[in-house]
Amino acid sequence: SSSKILIKGGTVVNAHHQEIADVFVEHGIIVDVKPNIKIGDDVTVLDATGKFVMPGGIDPHTHLAFDFMGTRTIDDFFSGQAAALAGGTTMHIDFAIPVGGSLIAGFEAYEERAEKSVMDYGFHMAVTKWDDTVSKEMEIMVNEKGINSFKFFMAYKGALMINDVLLLEGLKKCKSLGALAMVHAEHGDAVFEGQKRMIELGITGPEGHALSRPAVLEGEATARAIRLAAFVNTPLYVVHVMSIDAMEEIAKARKSGQKVIGEPIVAGLVLDDSGPWDPDFVTAAKYVMSPPIRAAGHGKALQAALSTGILQLVGTDHCVFNSTQKSLGIDDFRKIPNGVNGIEERMHLVWDTMVESGQISVSDYVRITSTESARIFNIYPRKGAILAGSDADIIILNPNSSFEISTSTHHSRTDTNVFEGRRGKGKVEVTIAGGRIVWINDELKVTPGSGKYVKMPPFSYLFAGIDKVDAMYFSSLKAPVKRAW
Ligand code: DUC
Ligand code: ZN
Ligand code: ZN
Ligand code: ZN
């Protein structure tokens, strides 16, 4: 395709505004957005009449080429991103994991895995232990490597899990760096106990997974992380909010003015816990993720929370293992690699579930699938907007066309799909990434190495006013009482 693209006559949607306009793209950048743009004849013209022209999706939560639970996710930075593009997502933020305890070694390993990228990407970094080296490495990540968010796993005992002392140190360090603290919120010690109980009862199948880690443990850890973040006075981002229990803690904190972000994932919005009870092991095991997919009412409540602003954006936790890998846990659900797909399905399922159903507007759709990610991770308006000067990451969605999800047509390398057979209204017909048409007429045209690493600067809008609050807090602590003794 030409380096110049004109998208004609569509409804251009941003998070705060929509209008019928043309969009002109040159050399990977949006050059102009206005009605009736006149052009020369060396331009690829796409007719978007009757369709929505929107910022490409930004998936804030993925795990590509992730070494986890004795195996590596089947989607790497090529196949996972190709799948993303086919579903209208043009950027993702992946979780880089330390290697041998080193954040720098972890970052370098992920840099290498991402060399074959076909779309833009950024990294969060996980912190899994605490000492002076880790503390120094966090500074290097923020000041030199373009990372502005750190994830703390409150679960996965014996592997990634941290304790409250580390969480407290980590929160303080994040605050000092202007980096966003993220938590996987489940009470890891209690989960461990719950798993033991299941095994003792003879429940070794996939149904034991959700039974061993009920929503009360997600609510507890969410509340604990929120309160520690309040004590440190730093913003908090709760990843994969899967339950009413966790959502209500976030609602309460936000109501009191605390800066807490809640991210549901698409599987948690549209699936319920009947899957893991399927008599076929692989079918049941494909739904196993943590926190687990909950009973039916939770997803609906999370949708409602998204529509009222209690939750702010949608991720996927795309972390995919095939049937063979899932079968590592055939005798013991504790050994089933945790993770589900979603990177290709998120944009379609959120459209169908939230917009087509009438729960949110098209502008809200743009906000929760793209713009809010860009704002939180401090790359707006380069990403997350259709504005002159923004990166040309654009989708054209036809609201009158339909999608259908199937393992036989998806672009992930896995042989299962937790959304198998789902269909709905609204189809991403064109994806433009970095100014190139990469998805059109149901065909992918991607070039390994064309994706760029996006550095994310610290001190996002979430930090506005934080220091002022601190000054008030500490100045009120100056020995106000003169005692008699
Ligand atoms: N949960 C998953 O299901 N997979 C990856 C990590 C996580 O927290
Ligand atoms: Zn030129
Ligand atoms: Zn997690
Ligand atoms: Zn995750």
pTM, two decimal places: 0.97
Average pLDDT over every residue of 358-365: 98
Ligand 1 pocket mutation pick from 317, 318, 333, 341 by most atoms within 8 angstroms of CB:
317
pLDDT score, position 475: 67
Tell me which of 61, 64, 68 to substitute to probe ligand 1's pocket, judged by most ligand atoms within 8 Å of the beta carbon: 68
Q: What is the 385 CA–ligand 4 centroid distance (Å)?
A: 25
* pLDDT above 50 (res 45): yes
Question: What residues does ligand 1 touch, defined as CB less than 6 Å away?
Answer: 63, 184, 289-290, 317, 319, 338-339
Report the range of poorest mean pLDDT among 220-234, 349-363, 470-484: 470-484
Of the listed ranges 157-166, 224-233, 257-266, 468-477, the least confidently predicted one is 468-477
Query: Could you report the per-residue pLDDT of 427-449, keeping only the tens digit for each?
Result: 999 999 999 999 999 999 999 99
Q: What are phi and psi of 211, to 5 degrees?
A: -65, -30
Q: What is the pLDDT of residues 278-332, one digit of tens each?
A: 999 999 999 999 999 999 999 999 999 999 999 999 999 999 999 999 999 999 9
> Among the atoms of ligand 1, which is closest to the Cα of residue 153?
8
27 C-alpha to ligand 2 centroid (Å): 7
Residue nearest to atom 1 of ligand 1 (CA): 290
Confirm whether the ipTM is greater than 0.95: no
pLDDT(65) > 50: yes
Mean pLDDT of 150-156: 97
Please report the atom of ligand 1 found closest to the CA of residue 239. Answer: 8
pLDDT for position 479 = 67
Averaged pLDDT of the chain: 96
